[in-house]
Amino acid sequence: MQAFWQNVLITGASSGLGRALAEACAAPGVVLHLSGRDAARLEEAAAACRAKGAEVQPRVIDVCDADAMAAWIQGAGRLDLVIANAGISAGTGGTTEPTAQTRLLFETNVTGVLNTALPALEVMAAQSPGADGLRGRIAVVSSVAAFVAAPGAPTYCATKAAVQRWAEALDATERKRGIRMHAICPGYVRTAMTARNKFPMPFLMDADEAARRTLAGLARGKTRIAYPWPTYMLARFAGALPISWRAAIFSRLPAKGDGNL
């Protein structure tokens, strides 16, 4: 897909959907600010983007470090698109979810998104509008899991619901400042994270296809970008079931394993 944004910042860009998004945005004239926690994998992603002609500024950083994230984002210069992609996944394995796991998922998937989006909002608010009339776009990566409270992954579902609803609600007011907010809600994407899942993953798609759909949705200005359609509809349907029905159904399905961080 032809790059649409010239200055892009992506967290969790060293692998999976984050790397696919980075490579999809890479093109001559594009400046990519990429972060990840694994220096070697991040440099591999940066090299792949440079091979496509992009200027790449990689940074090894943990999204849970609010001060470091703010300094990085505020020092990046103009930002046309920020994608808060970094996140982790884990389930209960059919038992009580460990306390440490619950806290880690909230810290990474919710606080980490805020540590990305809030400084980006400040930077964009001070920018002049670009060619599209906007000061910038911020996309937070949620999941179709946001629409169903699955007993096997309560914290994961809760964290993804939190950032999805926050981004969609905030979009209405940020438009007045010339900033757009977007909630990215993918279904199952083939990555190292989902490779650990021991249960069927319907409509599993490659990361490159997920990146293409994400960027296409952003280019069309969609506030919620959910795909693939069948998985999204299944999640919405399951989320609308009576709680007792949903619990009974999910109790018969294989549990999402813990330690899937």
Question: Can 232 be counted among the known catalytic residues?
Answer: no
- pLDDT for the residue 182: 98
Which pLDDT tens digit goes with each residue over 3-42? 579 999 999 999 999 999 999 999 999 999 999 999 999 9
Kindly write down the DSSP assignment for every residue of the chain, as one continuous string.
-----SEEEESSTTSHHHHHHHHHH--TT-EEEEEES-HHHHHHHHHHHHTTT-EEEEEE--TT-HHHHHHHHHTS---SEEEE--------TTSPPPHHHHHHHHIIIIIHHHHHHHHHHHHHHTSPP-TTS-SEEEEEE--GGGGS--TTSHHHHHHHHHHHHHHHHHHHHHGGGTEEEEEEEE--EESTTGGG--S--TT-EEHHHHHHHHHHHHHTT-SEEEESHHHHHHHHHHHHS-HHHHHHHHHTSPPPPS---
- Residue of 156, 188, 227, 232 marked active site: 156
Quickly name the fold that domain 7-251 has. Rossmann fold (3.40.50)
- pLDDT for the residue 4: 79
- pLDDT for the residue 239: 85
> 26, 17, 64: which is closest to 185 by C-alpha?
17
- pLDDT for the residue 32: 98
| Whether the predicted pLDDT of 251 surpasses 90 | no
Can you tell me the distance from the alpha carbon of 196 to that of 4, in angstroms, rounded to the nearest whole number? 34
- pLDDT for the residue 2: 47
Percent of the chain with pLDDT strictly greater than 90: 72
- pLDDT for the residue 196: 66
- pLDDT for the residue 246: 76
Band of residue 200 on the pLDDT scale cut at 50, 70, 90: low
pTM given for the model: 0.91
Percent of the chain with pLDDT strictly greater than 70: 89
- pLDDT for the residue 190: 78
Query: What is the number of other CB atoms lying within 10 angstroms of the CB of residue 97?
Result: 19
| Whether the predicted pLDDT of 1 surpasses 50 | no
Can you tell me the distance from the alpha carbon of 134 to that of 113, in angstroms, rounded to the nearest whole number? 21
